[in-house]
Chains A and B, each alone.
Chain A
Amino acid sequence: MEIVYVYVKKRSEFGKQCNFSDRQAELNIDITPNPELAALYMERNPVDKGVQCSASMSEHEANTERFEMENCGVNHIEGGWPKDVNPLELEQTIRFRKKVEKDENYINAITQLGLIMEHCIKQNNAIDIYQEYFDEEESVEVTEEAPSAKTINVFRDPQDIKRTATHLSWHPDGNKKLAVAYSCLKFQQAPMGMSHESYIWDLENPNRPEITLKPSSPLVTLEYNPKDSHVLLGGCYNGQIACWDIRKGSLVAELSTIEFSHRDPVYGTIWLQSKTGTECFSASTDGQVMWWDIRKMSEPMEVVVMDITRKEQLANALGAISLEFESTLPTKFMVGTEQGIVISCNRKAKTSAEKIVCTYSGHHGPIYALQRNPFYPKNFLTVGDWTARIWSEDSRESSIMWTKYHMAYLTDGAWSPVRPAVFFTTKMDGTLDIWDLVFKQCDPALSLKVCDDALFCLRVQDNGCLIACGSQLGTTTLLEVSSGLSTLQKNEKNIASSIFERETRREKILEVKHREMRLKEKGKTEGREDDQKEDELALNLDDLVSKAEEEFYEVIYSELKRKEAEAMKKTAKPVRTVVGEDLSLPPEESSWTPYYWPPPPHHSTCTLNMH
């Protein structure tokens, strides 16, 4: 160990207080003015200076306490009539009016006003003053504004015992309403007296839900029927499927029978595109996916067991947590399971075993969200454990892109319906991340802390501007995203598709390489010279080390010799002896001050021959 610097302090001085002492002022530097420098400058005359004389104001923001508003109508009755006129009596009012009309004031006033009015009316008819000029020059904004999102509204669960908002669904037309399903997802830890109700909120009124839905068991998922906005489908905690018609009231319109329903909470329900608009399917952690027609809820139309060994064994089945269905690919659907595997299935397969087409594994935990990219359905996003991954249908070995491992568990994710390269994810620490693949791929473009408790679900409105997220305490927050993130940028489609293709190609190449390696390994295990190679490798390690050390010392030795030769040529005797003395010391002693290389470690096999 070298001593680089030594600090010395007297023992008695430890802990002593600082003793300051006065000292005369020292003049360190004195720069005298140099009038010659002034010649380099010219006086400015006149000088322009802006002066403002206005009232100084300060800006202060204050957040008022939340107050409840209620809308109610006011009934007007005619007022303003003078006392003697009864507004309901036609005669009296007519008489009053006639009297007024005879008034001279009235005549003058009306004539005057009439002139002004005519002028304006003619103006209106002549030119449309609000016409959009220069319409075609709608600037293609290169908005340099940073992506941002702000909270617009917060809908709190009015119940005292707070439940988690587990699923959100926007109203299909106009997106003015939001259906939120509330339940307690902790296994058997639902507190006593917890209400089963779920609500439909009107965006204008955050104080009170517009419609209450009363199922027999708390709802885990809730979906509006995209064809008929009065019908809602809900999946219950006890495995039943329930259907509501808002026009009929808040009680369940149709309920599936318990014997034929799922055995576990229904985690995914999606409406299907069908001519009747009454078909839907559901998935649950009991490993089954069932198809229903809401007109006949007594038993499912079809049941598929998520058994990847294709034996239809319920015992082997993987629990399904998320469902995905794209209306442009009506026969295919995908299921995300608790075991971290995505199963892609074909509904129209002839035998039940062929229903399961292929699997994609890569997540370590349940896959909470699964969605195809609305622009490129071949690529889909899965969110589970601590990452979000993007997959391509073609590459089955692994995902084509993935985010880094986050600190908190990811709970939900969705693509933006407007921009193909933007997706949103929510985490257990209450943050919402917005990822923009065109902008940055390793980090979210924007990361927002929405609330202190965990966020459980996320839903983007169809125009891509509003996002609703539901949290553990039942608070649904409505956020508005900045226009940069919700308007399609030029070339974005091409860029996004090229990103996906490039990554898919990379994965394919890796896949091929993997396969080759595996084949090679298979060849190895069948014996031959590869065994020997491995042994040799192991033995040679020690030899290599000693060889390296030898070489090292030889280099030093030759250097030293060279230096000696030089020194002997140049210097006189005394120096030479010093050099000679130094060199005669054995290397183990630390007095040999090395300044080119570190001293050699003690190694018995190698010694330098010094003369």
Chain B
Amino acid sequence: EVEETLKRIQSHKGVIGTMVVNAEGIPIRTTLDNSTTVQYAGLLHQLTMKAKSTVRDIDPQNDLTFLRIRSKKHEIMVAPDKEYLLIVIQNPCE
């Protein structure tokens, strides 16, 4: 089902790339090339950690469920989990 899920996500309109990163920042599964993946993995992992700790600091009972970074060119969406991160880069239709 993992395959299915990932395939489904990738087939959505505007999705440029998908990747799964583990807690240490190692990319497990990716549809982009290696260097881009490594870059995204490293940077987004740190950012997600920071965002999570920020949310937790403000309210200890709160937790980060989703992180969306909208930039000029596309949108990066990060769904964090205890051990893994699902990262999707999409080009929203505007």
Contacts and interface: CB of A to CB of B under 8 A. Distances in A.
A97 B24 CA distance: 13
Nearest to A126: B93
Interface in A94-127: 96-97, 100-101, 105-107, 109-114, 116-118, 120-122, 124-125
B5 A121 contact: no
Given A107-B2, A128-B93, A130-B70, A121 B82 contact: no
Interface stretch (A26-34, A73-81, A277-285, A461-469): A73-81
Given A76-B42, A97-B28, A100-B28, A113 B84 contact: yes
B41 to A, nearest CB: 8
Contact of B25 (A79, A109, A130): A79
B51 to A, nearest CB: 15
Contacts of A143: none
A114 B88 CA distance: 10
B66 A116 contact: yes
Contacts of B29: 97, 101
Main secondary structure of the interface of B (DSSP, over half): mixed
B12 interface: yes
Contacts of B70: 130
A63 interface: no
Interface in B27-82: 28-29, 38-39, 42, 65-66, 68, 70, 75, 77, 79, 81-82
Nearest to A128: B94
Name the interface size band of chain A: 20 to 34
Nearest to A123: B92
A131 interface: yes
B65 A116 contact: yes
Contacts of B9: 114, 117-118, 121
A78 B35 CA distance: 9
Contact of A109 (B8, B82, B90): B82
Contacts of A100: 22, 28
Nearest to A76: B42
Contacts of B22: 100
Contacts of A125: 12-14, 92-93
Given A76-B39, A117-B77, A101 B88 contact: no
Nearest to B85: A113
A110 B86 contact: yes
B86 A114 contact: yes
A80 B77 CA distance: 22
Contact of B83 (A105, A116, A120): A105
B31 to A, nearest CB: 14
Contacts of A101: 2, 28-29
A291 to B, nearest CB: 45
A97 B15 CA distance: 23
A529 B31 CA distance: 107
Most B-side CB within 10 Å, residue of A109, A118, A120, A125:
A109
Contacts of A114: 5-6, 8-9, 86
A131 B84 CA distance: 32
A105 B2 CA distance: 11
Contacts of A113: 79, 81, 84, 86
Nearest to B92: A124
B26 A112 contact: no
Contacts of A110: 2, 5-6, 20, 84, 86
Contacts of B2: 101, 106-107, 110-111
Interface of B: 1-2, 5-6, 8-9, 12-15, 20, 22, 24-26, 28-29, 38-39, 42, 65-66, 68, 70, 75, 77, 79, 81-84, 86, 88, 90, 92-94
Given A106-B83, A125-B12, 13 more contacts: A109-B82, A109-B83, A110-B6, A111-B5, A113-B79, A113-B84, A114-B8, A114-B9, A117-B77, A118-B12, A121-B12, A125-B93, A131-B94
18 contacts: A76-B42, A79-B25, A80-B25, A80-B26, A82-B24, A96-B26, A97-B28, A107-B2, A109-B84, A110-B86, A111-B1, A111-B2, A118-B8, A121-B9, A121-B15, A125-B93, A130-B70, A131-B94
Q: Which 9 A-B pairs have the closest CB atoms?
A: A114-B5, A80-B24, A113-B86, A113-B79, A80-B25, A124-B92, A109-B81, A121-B12, A109-B84
